């Protein structure tokens, strides 16, 4: 690596979810020459874990490096969901500029606001890239006007408001400075990054200061820390000091020094101020801590991350089916796994409770905690979760609650119902726009607790045609209490196997969450009642066989399709007296007061 700071550019790519960050990185990588001519280029190369590929979203921030002419460009792909804001906040300290991607059709969305606000607070001057201009009926210039309005609303200074912008398509692999000009490659974007992103500020001659922003693990190297060198030089095999959060200094040695080249980590002997590197040799490390020169250790300011807004309790599984499907079922295993997650998940909080079997876990939203739960169940964990609760805070002796910006894109016929439902949840409408294609965009400020359980209602109101996105706005004094009505549930009366005969007989009672042949236990929630009360059903009852009926008499009978209960839907659905049982094979809802049989 070269020691000249002028030859490095560190840039983060930020945007609302689904506006094309990862696809744009694909285009930059493929046109930078890091792949061989005969190499198969994967799509969404930066979305490396299974959950990211399945859901089509970025969860973890990741970095890559490309060389353009004589400049090394370190690119960091960040999540678009506000629930993963902890990932965004910690990596913005590594970069000197950012690329804000906006959909040419949708313009800035709620999470655009969230990530842009964080970038502006850091003093970064974004380059705006209007993506997907090759789609029909787009007005890219209007998207630029909306971005400027958002900059002004967020209090950007004059220099930040005078932002450079480009148009293009990450999927088609082109960028251009003017809509009228022609381009078939990403070179204008590379040039804009070199021109508008300043080189890193730092001095290679000062004592070493490297701030840890990402943690990784390797079976061969152990704990790997990734961060930017703010000052000084780091060499493979050198002695260094780790400055902990509490100010304590631990001596250590850089056992391996790695740099980034495309998608690979490569062995290097030396790196300088401005470089982003991976280092092994330090085991007990946390995000935000500093690796420094052993002779003159000076810590960098710790990374500040917004506090969690949602809390739920993780409980050891005590249902009648406990221990049948999971590999890790004890409180010790659950505690160790949550503590391990704390090492890399900076926005997460875990606290012990009065009971050794219960742990209070706080995060940035249902998606943030839902991803953790899904990851744990895939690893073989089995546990239960309580209903999510909003975290209230006392500010100036006033009880305050988190408020979110909610944007709905709905068919015109659903507008009235959406406004009515959100009105009962204390939402305040801020904006309403109708487009020529018969759809309406509604913008609200709504208490976070008003959104718990709303998604299911929203899908029903819009018949699955609505688009909903929200992000944390701020804490405000608590609004009055409100009731989010939900019908009662259908509960299994006894342990056994659900039969077609019993389900068919009770079909008029409500909708089911299970199919015939599913094992159930007493107290397990098997559906939603048509009425407000809970109702117990014997769904294991079998038909008495007689010689009066033919064997094929029921062949024409059909059962209504059950509602597919996903993890996120179950988290939103469960009430205060209910628990969600999560195992590697199943997701079950149950009543808390129904105890295990003796």
Q: pLDDT tens digit string along 483-539?
A: 665 688 999 989 999 998 888 888 888 889 998 899 999 999 999 888 888 899 988
> Do residues 116 and 148 touch, judged by C-beta distance below 8 A?
no
Residue 286 has pLDDT above 60, yes or no: yes
Position 289 scores a pLDDT of 84
d(CA 571, CA 384): 11
Sign of CA dihedral 69, 71, 74, 77: negative
d(CA 373, CA 359): 13
d(CA 396, CA 385): 33
Position 359 scores a pLDDT of 93
Token output for 311: 């809390």
Position 492 scores a pLDDT of 92
On whether 557 is known to bind a ligand per the annotation, the reply is: no
On whether 133 is known to bind a ligand per the annotation, the reply is: yes
On whether 249 is known to bind a ligand per the annotation, the reply is: no
Position 87 scores a pLDDT of 58
Sign of CA dihedral 137, 143, 145, 146: positive
Give the pLDDT band of residue 548 (cuts 50, 70, 90). low
**Coil/strand/helix, residue 61:** coil
- The single residue listed with the structure tokens 């939203």 is 365
Q: Kindly state the average pLDDT of the residues 214-237.
A: 81
Environment class of 467 (CB within 10 Å of its CB; exposed 0-12, middle 13-18, buried 19+): middle
Residue of 129 and 202 predicted with greater confidence: 129
Position 17 scores a pLDDT of 61
d(CA 101, CA 26): 14
Position 582 scores a pLDDT of 92
Position 305 scores a pLDDT of 66
Position 33 scores a pLDDT of 59
Residue of 23 and 408 predicted with greater confidence: 408
Give the pLDDT band of residue 332 (cuts 50, 70, 90). very high
d(CA 469, CA 557): 41
Residue 478 has pLDDT above 90, yes or no: no
Per-residue exposure over 161-183, b if at least 16 CB sit within 10 Å of its own CB, e if not: eebebbbbbbbebbbbbeeeeeb
Residue of 337 and 66 predicted with greater confidence: 337
Give percent of the chain above pLDDT 90. 11
Mean pLDDT of the chain: 80
Token output for 30: 């493929």
d(CA 112, CA 102): 8
Sheet holding 127-131, edge to edge: 62-68, 71-77, 8-15, 97-103, 127-131, 165-169, 174-176
On whether 488 is known to bind a ligand per the annotation, the reply is: no
Lowest-confidence pick of 27-36, 105-114, 387-396: 27-36
Q: Which domains does the chain have, with CATH numbers?
A: 5-196 (3.40.50.300), 209-292 (2.40.30.10), 393-477 (3.30.70.240), 489-591 (2.40.50.250)
Lowest-confidence pick of 104-118, 121-135, 308-322: 104-118
Token output for 398: 């006033």
Position 260 scores a pLDDT of 80
Concatenating the DSSP letter of every residue in 367-419 gives: HHHHHHHHHHHHTTB-EEEPPPEEPPEEETTEEEEEEEEEEEEEEGGGHHHHH
d(CA 406, CA 391): 19
Q: Which residues pair with 22 in a beta bridge?
A: none
Q: Which residues contact 408 (CB under 8 A, 6 or more apart)?
A: 418, 441, 442, 443, 444, 458, 466, 467, 468
d(CA 47, CA 60): 8
Which secondary-structure segment (H or E) carries 143? helix 140-153
**Coil/strand/helix, residue 118:** helix
d(CA 165, CA 167): 7
On whether 18 is known to bind a ligand per the annotation, the reply is: yes
| Torsion angle of the four alpha carbons 523, 529, 535, 540, in this order, in degrees rounded to the nearest 10 | -60
pLDDT tens, residue by residue, 126-175: 899 988 888 777 788 888 888 888 888 888 888 888 888 888 888 888 88
Position 3 scores a pLDDT of 45
Position 111 scores a pLDDT of 65
Sign of CA dihedral 332, 333, 338, 344: positive
On whether 461 is known to bind a ligand per the annotation, the reply is: no
The backbone torsions φ and ψ at residue 556, rounded to the nearest 5 degrees and listed phi first, read -85, -15
Residue 50 has pLDDT above 60, yes or no: no
- Minimal CA–CA distance to 346: which of 37, 87, 125? 87
d(CA 199, CA 202): 9
pLDDT tens, residue by residue, 440-477: 888 899 998 888 778 777 887 888 788 777 777 788 89
d(CA 459, CA 454): 9
CA 254 → CA 215, 249, 250, 268, distances in Å? 15, 15, 13, 12
On whether 131 is known to bind a ligand per the annotation, the reply is: yes
CA 362 → CA 222, 263, 310, 339, 536, distances in Å? 28, 33, 6, 13, 33
Position 594 scores a pLDDT of 44
pLDDT tens, residue by residue, 344-400: 676 788 999 898 899 999 987 777 788 889 889 889 999 999 988 888 888 888 889
On whether 20 is known to bind a ligand per the annotation, the reply is: yes
CA 520 → CA 445, 493, 495, 534, 598, distances in Å? 41, 9, 5, 17, 16
Q: Which residues contact 422 (CB under 8 A, 6 or more apart)?
A: 406, 429, 444, 446, 450, 454
Token output for 153: 């609303």
Position 497 scores a pLDDT of 92
Residue of 34 and 288 predicted with greater confidence: 288
On whether 78 is known to bind a ligand per the annotation, the reply is: no
Q: Which residues contact 360 (CB under 8 A, 6 or more apart)?
A: 311, 313, 350, 351, 352, 353
Lowest-confidence pick of 53-57, 66-70, 314-318, 592-596: 53-57
Environment class of 382 (CB within 10 Å of its CB; exposed 0-12, middle 13-18, buried 19+): buried
């Amino acid at each position: 690596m070269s020691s000249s700071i002028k030859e490095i550019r560190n840039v983060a790519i930020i945007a609302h979810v689904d506006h094309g960050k990862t696809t744009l990185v694909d285009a930059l990588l493929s046109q930078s020459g890091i792949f061989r001519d005969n190499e198969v280029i994967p799509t969404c190369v930066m979305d490396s874990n299974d959950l990211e590929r399945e859901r089509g979203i970025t969860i973890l921030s990741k970095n890559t490096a490309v060389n353009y002419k004589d400049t090394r460009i370190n690119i960091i792909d960040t999540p678009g969901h506000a629930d993963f804001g902890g990932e965004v906040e910690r990596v913005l300290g590594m970069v000197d500029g950012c690329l804000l991607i906006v959909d040419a059709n949708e313009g800035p969305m709620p999470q655009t606001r969230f990530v842009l606000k964080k970038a502006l607070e850091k003093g970064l001057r974004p380059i705006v890239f209007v993506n997907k201009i090759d789609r029909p009926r787009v007005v890219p210039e209007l998207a630029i006007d909306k971005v400027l309005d958002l900059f002004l609303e967020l209090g950007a200074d004059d220099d930040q408001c005078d932002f450079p912008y480009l148009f293009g398509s990450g999927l088609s692999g082109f960028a251009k400075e003017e809509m009228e000009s022609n381009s078939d490659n990403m070179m204008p974007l590379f040039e804009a990054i070199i021109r508008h992103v300043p080189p890193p500020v730092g001095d290679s001659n000062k004592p070493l200061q490297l701030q840890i922003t990402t943690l990784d693990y390797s079976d061969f190297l152990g704990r790997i820390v990734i961060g930017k060198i703010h000052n000084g030089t780091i060499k493979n095999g050198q002695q260094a000091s780790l400055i902990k959060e509490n100010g304590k200094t631990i001596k250590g040695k850089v056992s391996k020094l790695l740099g980034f080249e495309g998608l690979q980590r490569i062995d290097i002997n030396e790196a300088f101020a401005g470089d982003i590197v991976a280092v092994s040799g330090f085991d007990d490390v946390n995000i935000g801590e500093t690796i420094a020169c052993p002779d003159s250790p000076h810590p960098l300011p710790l990374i500040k991350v917004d506090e969690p807004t949602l809390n739920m309790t993780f409980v050891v599984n005590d249902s009648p089916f406990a221990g049948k499907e999971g590999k890790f079922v004890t409180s010790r295993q659950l505690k160790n796994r949550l503590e391990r997650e704390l090492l890399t998940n900076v926005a997460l909080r875990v606290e012990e409770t009065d009971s050794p079997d219960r742990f209070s876990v706080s995060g940035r939203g249902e998606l943030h905690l839902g991803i953790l739960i899904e990851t744990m169940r895939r690893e073989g964990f089995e546990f239960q979760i309580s209903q999510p609760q909003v975290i209230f805070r006392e500010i100036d002796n006033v009880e305050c609650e988190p408020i979110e910006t909610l944007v709905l894109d709905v068919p015109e016929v659903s507008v009235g119902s959406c406004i009515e439902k959100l009105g009962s949840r204390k939402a305040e409408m801020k904006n309403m726009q109708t487009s020529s294609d018969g759809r309406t965009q509604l913008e609200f400020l709504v208490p976070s607790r008003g959104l718990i359980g709303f998604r299911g209602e929203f899908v029903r109101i819009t018949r699955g045609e609505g688009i909903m996105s929200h992000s944390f706005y701020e804490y405000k004094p608590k609004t009055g209490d409100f009731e989010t009505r939900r019908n009662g549930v259908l509960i299994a009366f006894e342990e056994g196997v659900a039969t077609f005969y019993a389900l068919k007989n009770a079909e008029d009672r409500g909708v089911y969450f299970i199919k015939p042949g599913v094992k159930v236990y007493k107290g397990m929630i098997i559906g939603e009642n048509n009425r407000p009360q809970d109702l117990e059903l014997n769904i294991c009852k079998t038909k008495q066989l007689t010689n009066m009926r033919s064997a094929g008499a029921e062949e024409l009978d059909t059962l209504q399709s059950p509602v597919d209960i996903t993890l996120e839907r179950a988290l939103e659905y469960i009430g205060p007296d209910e628990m969600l049982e999560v195992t590697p094979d199943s997701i079950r809802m149950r009543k808390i007061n129904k105890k295990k049989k003796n």
